Amino acid sequence: MAEVSIGEAVRRVGQAVADLVAADLDTASEPELADLAIDLLGIESQVGAVIAQVTARVDASKIWANDGSRSSAAWLSRAAGRDRNECAALVRRGRALRDMPLVDEAHRAGRLSSRHVQLLARAAGWAPGCFADDEAWLVARALELPYDDLVTVVAYWRQCTRPDDVEDEATRRWRQRSAHLSPGLDGVGHLDVTFDPVGYTEFAEALRRIEHELWEADWADARDRLGNAASSADLARSTAPRRYDALIEMARRASAAPPGARAPRPLVTVHVDHETLTGRICELSTGRVVTPGEVLPLLAAADVERAVFGPEGRVIDLGRRSRLFVGGSRRAVEIQEPRCTHGTCSVPSELCDIHHVDEWTHGGTTDPTNGEPRCPAHHPGRRRKNPPRRRRRSRGPRAAPSDEEDGS
């Protein structure tokens, strides 16, 4: 087949897109539409890869300076009528892809999205030499893992490649913590907070527990009024007002605590090795990767529990805390699965029911190896369809490969 020029290819794509826009969606069945959504996202990634490649060449050519523009992003923003920040991100992506050939190849094949490229480009900028050595390994993880898990893998990779620098970065985050409470007009107020990761997790978990209590009260009220016909649209409060009320309730409970009352001790969960581990594991119960330096200050004032994982990421031993730990089996499931295992859900496991993978009525046992968190909406006992199940997350994804396995 004769080679097609880039201009002719763009013209053909434009015509194909025009045909696509004019197509009647009503002629497609629901399963066909679902397949089309996936196909179109892959095509979007492929077109995005070409746009980034073309933009990178325009950026390198300096042709954008002919009309007095000070940067290729400024020229593109004006010429295409796009947001300047969007154009700047596109230019950065195009530049980064020139030095990431394997990422570029997967992006052009439609297998990696622009978000994947952005994440991996930040990793490449963090440690260029190590990234070049580990690019194939990182791309393989990107192709096999959900995006959120890839974020975790990259975070551990950053720690392993430049351990001292990630501690300095963590220290800067802690020093930047701040809270501003400002009065507004008519007695209203404004709260603006910047958390460090550990502080945010403590605060968010406490707020979420109270918010869930208020949600249960709202749901009970809706059921009393409407019975089984009640839905989330019938709740007395939407999410934002309910979260505000939870924040006020948190303040009231703090005020009600007697002077000198003992503050609850934080819980630090330590994950120790399983077969796939080659680097350190250090993360909060939410899955947020932190540095050892961020955890150390907590140890003098925290309960510590030990969780030992087997080859499949299952808890095989859960040590006891210094105080009695009620519901150890449930806690083990929460540790190994921090959120609902339905493939589309991110409800925290502490707000879920623990479901028997092998049903109790069919001889399933009540232990961590046979449990998984499912939120009320996705509990199989409430919805008998077989929903997509989230792939079991490996706690502490493997860090960069060792010298013996083509690593840095």
Q: What was the pLDDT predicted at 172?
A: 92
Which residues on adjacent β-strands are paired with residue 182?
190
Kind plus residue range of the DSSP H or E element containing 305: strand 303-309
The per-residue pLDDT for range 227-276, each reduced to its tens digit, is: 989 888 899 999 999 999 999 999 999 888 887 777 666 665 555 444 33
Asked if residue 361 has pLDDT above 60, the reply is yes
3-state secondary structure (DSSP) of residue 158: helix
Return the axis-axis angle of helices 30-61 and 84-98, rounded to nearest 10°: 80
Higher-confidence position of 313 and 86: 86
Asked if residue 186 has pLDDT above 50, the reply is yes
Among 286, 281, 271, 335, CA closest to 159:
281
Chain-wide mean pLDDT for the chain?
81
Backbone φ and ψ of 7, nearest 5°: -65, -45
Residue with tokens 């609902």: 340
Q: What was the pLDDT predicted at 312?
A: 54
**Confidence (pTM):** 0.69
Asked if residue 84 has pLDDT above 50, the reply is yes
